[in-house]
Structure 1
């Protein structure tokens, strides 16, 4: 896998009763779905390492009884374990409408927190994975893999739109995916806003999971200095070069002044995760330096920060 990672829509409305249950230590449920080949198996293995009970391809008709708070998987006592359930187009009796109905039922009927994680991936990367593994696409047994990917993307679009978290696994190694999941879920049950900061190259596209995107291509570019070109934004020489730009200080001060009042407001609204993406042309110099500096500032504000240099 590789490259991008994370966004957050609707289900921050897990209701007051659900929030109270989670804060009291009750286990919660992650429904892991997405494009075939996008990394569901790797995600479930990573969540197992985070002490989730992970099960795959449970028939939709059985999910309700599986995740009911009274079930043994949640312990029934003071220790109540969380569960991650893998669901995709290969799941028995799978259908988008039944899936969404079951999701709504779980959210409304159970005193537990339920979140959907959608794993996405670039079409070219998915094709490459199928070619490398010599697997057939489940929706294109006798047709080209690209036909199956196109069909599945149309089919799964409503689920992507309803997901609480979208993780783009393009270019991500399994260890990187685990790090992203760890950033989201290792502190399950704890309160506070987790902030993900990503550097990226505009040439390789915007991180689809980003909530806020900042373009720093206006800063002086170390790429054109032959002594700095082979270095990265993590090197002191590059940091000094960018810091010397007349517009740097004003930009960074403005960025932190913008974020300072926003972070507590996002947290007050019940938002659990915020993804900030900073991009430059190649994703190696300016964006890397700014993201490292921003992450340091966020930690000074006592924020829980996860950092990812996507294209470094």
Structure 2
């Protein structure tokens, strides 16, 4: 009779027969709904997402979101990053999008919404340049279609995790903005854009926080500094050496820390901090650069700088 031998008695290397029983963490697919105003750059955003490994489906009727989510849940490894672009061309279909999204939540499917917006003047110009009518204008003007679309999209915009204003962005800059939001491993934890601007050109419509630095002495009145900008060391030193400016930067960063932590808890991945002076050339530029540097030192935060009005007369 053959006697069964205990492997431990055979002299074999015990480690060679060790089986790793650590459970494999299941793949959690990402579902991103991309929507927003017609002409605000949905197609450009879709192309940028594709460049970063997302599987993108454009012009999907909202009623099919549930079917698509079921497919993703069955094949998470095959579609780990899925973006769905939804627009209002089928107005009757789009009216049910909130119900479709609620159904996703009820089924336990996690999703986020990226909303692309732009001001009316920019949208009109883009439609005129493309020589195409707005999908909702019917027999009216382009502005009539834009107004109707804003009403239809108001709830979606208010509940979107990320709102990106593309008014001052060309296709390349929009692609860069989407790139800053998403990487090979998914979205960054929290991406902050620190924007300088001039109050005389209007408030940024996409700012989450606006800081007014017109209390700082204006380099415009110093003849040797007037032709320079806040990007130049001489202007930056003049602005930031003021005790009020240094104290403001310290206090503003400290004030934002719990706000940014709250954004993370609420799964908000993108925010804009706007810093304004009169013309957007000296004080706001210097302070925005310093704020971006300081905020970028916080854990799980990345920062980018945008000078909206630099170069204007």
Paired residue for 1:50?
52
Contact 2:57 2:85 in 1 (8 A): yes
Paired residue for 1:65?
67
Residue 138 of structure 1: CA displacement? Answer: 1.1
What stretches of structure 2 of length at least 5 have no aligned partner? 1-24
Secondary structure at 1:142's aligned position in 2?
coil
Q: Does 1:160 align with 2:162?
A: no
Deviates more, 1:125-134 or 1:136-145: 136-145
**Aligned partners of 1:257 and 1:64: how far apart in 2?**
43
Q: Does 1:180 align with 2:182?
A: no
Runs of 4+ in 1 over 6 A off after TM superposition: none
Residue 43 of structure 1: CA displacement? Answer: 0.9
What stretches of structure 1 of length at least 5 have no aligned partner? 1-22
**Aligned partners of 1:137 and 1:190: how far apart in 2?**
32
Secondary structure at 1:253's aligned position in 2?
helix
1:307 alignment partner, one of 301, 305, 308 = 305
Larger radius of gyration: 2
Residue 70 of structure 1: CA displacement? Answer: 3.5
**Aligned partners of 1:75 and 1:269: how far apart in 2?**
26
Paired residue for 1:89?
88
Paired residue for 1:205?
202
Residue 237 of structure 1: CA displacement? Answer: 1.4
Greater relative contact order structure (CA < 8 Å, 6+ sep): 1
Cα RMSD of the aligned pairs, angstroms, is: 2.4
Paired residue for 2:116?
119
Paired residue for 1:251?
248
Q: Are the structure 2 counterparts of residues 304 and 276 from structure 1 closer, same or farther at C-alpha, using a change threshold of 3 Å?
A: same
Contact 2:65 2:101 in 1 (8 A): no
Contact 1:199 1:278 in 2 (8 A): yes
Residue 198 of structure 1: CA displacement? Answer: 1.9
Q: Are the structure 2 counterparts of residues 265 and 83 from structure 1 closer, same or farther at C-alpha, using a change threshold of 3 Å?
A: closer
Contact 1:238 1:285 in 2 (8 A): yes
Residue 93 of structure 1: CA displacement? Answer: 4.8
Q: TM-score with structure 1 length normalisation?
A: 0.82
2:191 alignment partner, one of 171, 190, 194 = 194
Q: Does 1:235 align with 2:235?
A: no
**Aligned partners of 2:169 and 2:37: how far apart in 1?**
15
User: Size of the alignment, in residue pairs?
Assistant: 284
Q: Are the structure 2 counterparts of residues 222 and 182 from structure 1 closer, same or farther at C-alpha, using a change threshold of 3 Å?
A: same
Contact 2:52 2:184 in 1 (8 A): no
